[in-house]
Amino acid sequence: MTWLISTNTSSGTKLIRRLCLYMLFLTPLLHCSPTVYTPPTTSSNQDFPRTIEYDQSVEDIWAKLTDYISQSSYGLDSLDAENYYAELRFVSKQFHKYLDGGVLDEGGFNGYEGDLLELILPTDDFKSTLTGRIHIQLSRENISSSTLSFIVNYETVYAKRKRKILSEYTFDSQSPLRISTEDSTMSYTIAPSYFLENQLYQSFSDFQ
């Protein structure tokens, strides 16, 4: 009986040693899995149309624009009737409605896998905020025609405390943000989803 116990113990020890050796060789492979990043598909839309031409006077379109602003949910930061300029603002927690960061897979047991925005801007965290500013410029072409152009500036802030900002990014709908990494061959992208740009374009086109 004593011999059987000794044999079983010896077999168990060998099995544990083998498992340890497997893990010793396997662990570096798991941690060295290549990082794969899929950038947002919206980054190719940076030439999205942001200009509308009208066969109406600048005064007529300005009246329609100010009426639109008065009925919208945007905050008004600036309104210059003399220069036909307006700046609107909104704050939102709906990061994924307005932004796209693509998908990141760092591989391995400890590597992050998922939406890039969730990694660099925990979008469900109350300390993360997204502010958008809509700049609108109306120009006179001649007595009976005018042109409206707009651009949206985005600002994201993630803070541990009010005065301790962990990350802050600013970019606009014409130029998606490129974030460099320790790997010189790889960078991340945060781009507008172009949901807002499309919505604005459709609304301003209705002034026709």
Q: Indicate whether 53 and 24 sit together in one domain.
A: no
Q: Indicate whether 98 and 139 sit together in one domain.
A: yes
Residue 53 phi/psi, 5-degree rounding, is -105, 140
Q: Provide the residue range defining the domain that includes 22.
A: 1-32
**Residue pLDDT, tens place only, 130-180:** 999 999 999 999 999 999 999 999 999 988 766 788 889 999 988 889 998
Q: Indicate whether 9 and 49 sit together in one domain.
A: no
Predicted TM-score (pTM) of this structure = 0.78
Q: Indicate whether 121 and 135 sit together in one domain.
A: yes
Q: Indicate whether 156 and 128 sit together in one domain.
A: yes
Question: Is the pLDDT assigned to residue 6 strictly greater than 50?
Answer: no
Confidence of residue 3 (pLDDT cuts 50, 70, 90): very low
Q: Indicate whether 4 and 56 sit together in one domain.
A: no
Q: Indicate whether 74 and 7 sit together in one domain.
A: no
Q: Indicate whether 26 and 103 sit together in one domain.
A: no
Q: Indicate whether 15 and 50 sit together in one domain.
A: no
Q: Indicate whether 115 and 179 sit together in one domain.
A: yes
Average pLDDT taken over every residue of the chain:
84
Q: Indicate whether 50 and 23 sit together in one domain.
A: no
Domains: count for the chain: 2
Q: Indicate whether 24 and 40 sit together in one domain.
A: no
C-alpha span between 63 and 181 (Å, rounded): 48
Higher-scoring residue by pLDDT: 46, 107 = 107
**Residue pLDDT, tens place only, 27-72:** 454 445 688 999 998 766 767 788 999 999 999 999 999 999 999 9
